[in-house]
Amino acid sequence: MNKLQIMATYDAPGRGPVGLTWDGRFLWNSDYVTGTLYQIDTANMQVVKTFLCPGNLSGITWDGTHLWQSLHDADYLRSINPLSNDFDDTIALVDQGWLSGLAWDGQQLWAVSQQQGKLLAINPETHQVERTLSIPVAGGGLEYYDGALWVGVPLTMAFDPVNQGFDWTSDTPQFAILQLDPQNGRELGRYAIDFLPMGLAWANGELWLSHTGGRKLHCARL
């Protein structure tokens, strides 16, 4: 299994960094502790703008005009107009489990269902889940880049419905970023990592990752 090369590490702007996305100029980071979206200039890692958002923030993605958020335990996605900070749309995802990573492939949204071990392909016009792909349970950050889906996962965990948590099913905890074919879920690549990234964002050929427990943002290369 290949391993990512961490090129630089920075303190996250908040205390609970999760989702990451790149809008072509700025990096956006959602923070579940502060309930805030941070717009970051990667040239100097300074925060340009902040948005306060209610709810347990999780994944975030950019569709070209709007930011989309997943709310971890609230069963829905919402779009945010970055110019007005208004919530312009909401997509209900009932009975899909806890939501983490979020991505935009140019036509549809993709969301990680942590408990069910699925990637959900969502039509933003009809608000329907049109198909699903299987991934390991407890997946984290998600990104679409260069025709592939990239998702951070633990290897391997199972969901305990009684205790409402995840348990390791192997003696040696391992984490990886999987590169997947969005048509059939076929694995195209696997990269070892030392933690579960809850946010992934490709920017100018570099992969940004959020390390929630370490309160860090990492810039990496394959």
| CATH code assigned at 203 | 2.130.10.10
Q: Comparing C-alpha atoms, which of 115, 121, 47, 119 is closest to residue 91?
A: 121
Residue 54 is predicted with a pLDDT of: 87
Residue 85 is predicted with a pLDDT of: 81
Angle in degrees, CA 220, 221, 222, rounded to 5: 130
Q: pTM score, two decimals?
A: 0.96
Local confidence pLDDT in tens for the 222 residues of the chain = 788 899 999 999 999 999 999 999 999 999 999 999 999 999 999 999 999 998 899 999 999 999 999 999 899 999 999 888 888 899 999 999 999 999 999 999 999 999 999 999 999 999 999 999 999 999 999 999 999 999 999 998 898 988 898 999 988 899 999 999 999 999 999 999 999 999 999 999 999 999 999 999 999 998
Domain count, the chain: 1
d(CA 5, CA 91): 36
Domain around 179: 2-221
Q: How far is CA 24 from CA 96, 99, 219, in A?
A: 30, 25, 16
Q: Transcribe 126-190 into DSSP letters.
A: T--EEEEEE--TT---EEEETTEEEEEEEESEEEETTTTEEEE-SSS-EEEEEEE-TTT--EEEE
Cβ-based neighbours of 188, under 8 Å, separated by 6 or more:
148, 179, 180, 181
Locate 197 and state its tokens: 């990234």
* Beta strands 187-193; 2-3: pairing state: parallel
